Amino acid sequence: MTVIAPPATIAFLGLGMMGRPMASRLAAAGFSLRVFDVSQKAVSDFVGSHPSAIATASAKAAAQGADALITMLPDGKVVRQAVIDGPDAARHGLGAGALVIDMSSSNPVDTQLLARDVAAVGAALLDAPVSGGVRRAVDGSLSIMVGGSAADLERARPVLAAMGKTVTLCGPTGAGHALKALNNYLSAAGLVAMCEALVVGEAFGLDPGTMVDVFNSSTGKSNATEVKGRQFVVSRTFAAGFTTGLMAKDLRTAGEVATHLGLKVPGLAQAVAYWADARERLGPGADHTEIFRYAEMLADAES
């Protein structure tokens, strides 16, 4: 087993809000980067800030000569197009023994199929979605949930350690993506609960900042109250760096996993519907902390 450590070559696909800082962490760690994004500006901006990185014209070109290929793309369908199905897909450039690491939020059932197709071209797949948002992508402290073999994780550990503080093997292929979707269900549910509590409290005459402080010293404390309460909701800056559209997608994925397993989970189903409607009302590009505005809309509609 050859560990993928600097200065190994990494192909990185997707230089968006999360992908760019994650790729920057790899460059800072000493990895050689070959980057591609459908936005030529995103590629030129990244290479302008990281002159050692090589700009490429396609996923196929990025994959050529790479020890590992990382995808940080909107969803599993885009990942599949970039890695397997597209005319210039990465599979046409991957060498035997390469490791594909899908760090996007993808459907775990689709991930299992992708792993088989990646294996057919002589490569291996890890699903390794992240949690922590843009701030933790910038400082390299992301939580990374991994699905796949323990041996492949050990090969990739230096790569993942450059981007995350916590790297956890969650189970076989698809386990990382499943756990990410379920984690975001908990995150979304906690955020909605906080926002609805704030709406009711403000209507009663309570100060929202005081409410958050009390939540954080009481049993209502959560990631939402600690990280998003005063910072993005009470301040109404709504700039946490993760969109309503992406949260709705992750919840839909969690719901699809439950359906695939034949499970009835009413709370999850309600959350899927709640965020799907919020996406339509707020717009997919709205920050997910703007769910507070959606909670206000619903409360006004009931008055």
> Which burial class, exposed, middle or buried, applies to 297 when counting CB atoms under 10 A from its CB (0-12, 13-18, 19+)?
middle
The pLDDT tens digits for 126-178 are 999 999 888 899 999 999 999 999 999 999 999 999 999 999 999 999 999 99
In terms of Cα–Cα distance, which of 164, 159, 160, 157 is closest to 140? Answer: 164
As given in the structure block, the two tokens for residue 56 are: 């490429």
Position 17, amino acid: M
> Which burial class, exposed, middle or buried, applies to 31 when counting CB atoms under 10 A from its CB (0-12, 13-18, 19+)?
buried
In terms of Cα–Cα distance, which of 101, 109, 110 is closest to 167? Answer: 101
Q: Are 99 and 156 in contact (CB under 8 A)?
A: yes
- What average pLDDT does the structure give for the chain? 96
Q: Are 257 and 178 in contact (CB under 8 A)?
A: yes
- To the nearest 10 degrees (0 to 180), the angle between helices 175-204 and 244-260 is 120
pTM for the full model?
0.91
Name 201's Cβ contacts closer than 8 Å, sequence gap at least 6. Answer: 208, 211
Q: Are 99 and 90 in contact (CB under 8 A)?
A: no
Tens-binned pLDDT, residue by residue, of the chain (303 aa)? 699 999 999 999 999 999 999 999 999 999 999 999 999 999 999 999 999 999 999 999 999 999 999 999 999 999 999 999 999 999 999 999 999 999 999 999 999 999 999 999 999 999 999 998 888 999 999 999 999 999 999 999 999 999 999 999 999 999 999 999 999 999 999 999 999 999 999 999 999 999 999 999 999 999 999 999 999 999 999 999 899 999 999 999 999 999 999 999 999 999 999 999 999 999 999 999 999 999 999 999 755
DSSP 94: P
DSSP-H helix ranges across 50-149: 59-63, 76-80, 108-120, 133-139
- Residues designated catalytic: 180
The DSSP secondary structure of 272-291, one letter per residue, reads HHHHHHHHHHH-TTSBGGGH
As given in the structure block, the two tokens for residue 33 are: 């980067």
Q: Are 164 and 143 in contact (CB under 8 A)?
A: yes
As given in the structure block, the two tokens for residue 62 are: 């990025």
pLDDT of residue 83: 98
In terms of Cα–Cα distance, which of 290, 258, 266 is closest to 192? Answer: 290
* Cis amide prior to 284 (ω within 30 degrees): no
* Domains delineated in the chain: 9-172 (3.40.50.720), 178-302 (1.10.1040.10)
Q: Quick one: which H or E segment has residue 157?
A: helix 150-161
pLDDT of residue 303: 52
Task: Give dist(CA 89, CA 20) in Å, integer.
Answer: 21
